Structure 1
């Protein structure tokens, strides 16, 4: 009997095949989808780290250029920086830019360029602990070599299912924890860079799933089982594929 994870990976593959048969989508369809995912992805990714702007407020900041009363300047800057990182990654995907340590650092630089400029794009120079986790990230002096190895291992996974590969990249980045802050946002951006490079839409890990998200990452880091996290990512990819198909007028 097929496992739940295998069934979901197959479902994602089949939905993507249906979507591929409808491509290219119209410019109007793509513009609406891009706007939707930019807001959703930014809102949920920053909310996972404690940003209190709600979805409507995030949309106002990103699309209308407005400020929201009662919210901090930092929260506004976080969502704008995240949006800028998405735009940069979209261009990297279009130009078929490969994953490199330089790309990882540039994504991080964009994520924290306004809120932590002195650390933007710089590997941490000291030890770090993750609140609520038993996993202790490696020593700072090992970080550059570990990121280089991550990039090499990722390149060697070209034959893996794209969702497994993207989930592994996310997990490995947070396992290394190469930066003082912004590791989670950077990892989710890199995960979606991988998915989009392989022709999939971005996966949005929702703030309501924060506990499951952290628990599945802990299971991978401490228990050595990446399966539950891959399954979570697969569910979110399926959701995104269905949104794309609905936008194209396809029943799902």
Structure 2
């Protein structure tokens, strides 16, 4: 007869009782209660006091505990390991000492014969059940497997995971993983699988010519590797620009004098967005009136660099090239724009990753290929406003240089507008946050709607001023709150008096 203390121990929590966790006498006490009908048998060695309709939830909530009890020493395997330790298509895969299929309420467990826990495999919740190392997960999922419920995920899934690792943690992480897998493969008897893994990693890193099976992998392994996710984003934007008729305000500049005035304001505001802040009168002095640059020479030359390209017809009308020609073109434009700033490596693509807030731009190794492949979409986008917005986003999203990328992107945009006879775009200070927010939204969600709508509004706003009289243009812009910074306190207004030339063609 069990003692009173033993009865209390075995009946303290009858929600889920596992024989493997009990002493022999406790098991006998549980078995007597089974015969009495106060407990029910879920599976051999597993009993409960809960009704059958609750059993699937009970098994799911206690999955690790149950698997450790039924398959001591097993290692989570194959698809289940790649998914992070959960069932895939209702099946939980384990590597154990024998092959067996066990049906539990709401869960099918399939064991596969294989090596026990190896170096790098870690116990789960301190129990006799192990989660494999990342190297083992990838090697096992390269093993041959067929059928609807194949145990391994296959090469495509492994390649996709390797690309994700490279993007999240860098190339060193892939090299470290390869070394770990190299040492582990003989222990697991997976040398053939290591050969595939090694070649795939080499393809991603660009050190081997390896046929890849995913779009992301193909992008990284190309002769000129590119960012496939960015390319998909560019394709999505191009499709939206093709499908949406856009307004295209005609140029409002009537003379060479007006063109210089416009170029000055374009340069002033474009630099202000990037944090190069001057009083408008101060900038006017060294840009238009020839006053010597004595203070803040680097910032002053940033303004002058954009002004030079906005006012010089050769630069102002230079549309974005398609294919590999875009690389030399952008280097030359950047070298001219930033020629007074040798410290930013003017005219040379970045060698270190750059970011803005939480957004990381295209990796340096992928800059050339992403620009080339992205530019090939340009001819399919309607010329004028659509192509201008696409060109601007392409350069902005790749961010190919160490500095000056935002200003360069807006110069590229405006060149597309100039050759189409459309008004160039000025992004005033008060519009800065909306402009940047729309770019971030497009980057993160792929929704081009807010970006297109915002740029259409500011395009019409820009075309509503008379640039022949700079004093009047500045005063009108001040009256529209263009120079203000707080979008909470101020609203960007349209000018009260519209010049006749502001009429636009749809």
* Alignment correspondent of 1:213: 435
Give the length in aligned residue pairs.
228
Structure 1's unaligned 5+ residue stretches are none
Measured in 2, the distance between the counterparts of 1:225 and 1:251 equals 30
State how 1:59-208 maps to structure 2 within 5 Å: 59-67=284-292, 71-88=295-312, 90-92=313-315, 99=321, 100-116=326-342, 119-130=345-356, 132=357, 134-157=358-381, 160=382, 162-208=384-430
* Alignment correspondent of 2:117: none
TM-score by length of 1: 0.79
Measured in 1, the distance between the counterparts of 2:458 and 2:257 equals 19
Q: Taking structure 1 as reference, are residues 109 and 212 closer, same or farther at Cα in structure 2, changes over 3 Å only?
A: same
TM-fit CA distance, 1:68: 6.5
Measured in 1, the distance between the counterparts of 2:363 and 2:387 equals 25
Measured in 2, the distance between the counterparts of 1:220 and 1:116 equals 32
* Alignment correspondent of 1:57: 282
TM-fit CA distance, 1:92: 4.5
Structure 2's unaligned 5+ residue stretches are 1-240, 468-496
Q: Taking structure 1 as reference, are residues 42 and 198 closer, same or farther at Cα in structure 2, changes over 3 Å only?
A: same
TM-fit CA distance, 1:126: 1.8
Is the contact between residue 269 and residue 428 of structure 2 (CA under 8 Å) also seen in structure 1? yes
| Cα RMSD after superposing both structures | 2.9
The structure whose residues are more often strand, as a share, is 2
SS of residue in 2 equivalent to 1:180: coil
Measured in 2, the distance between the counterparts of 1:164 and 1:30 equals 26
Measured in 2, the distance between the counterparts of 1:98 and 1:179 equals 16
Measured in 1, the distance between the counterparts of 2:319 and 2:386 equals 20
Measured in 2, the distance between the counterparts of 1:210 and 1:251 equals 23
Instruction: Tell me which of the two structures has the higher relative contact order, counting C-alpha pairs closer than 8 angstroms and 6 or more residues apart.
Output: 1
TM-fit CA distance, 1:236: 2.3
Q: Taking structure 1 as reference, are residues 213 and 251 closer, same or farther at Cα in structure 2, changes over 3 Å only?
A: closer
The structure whose residues are more often helix, as a share, is 1
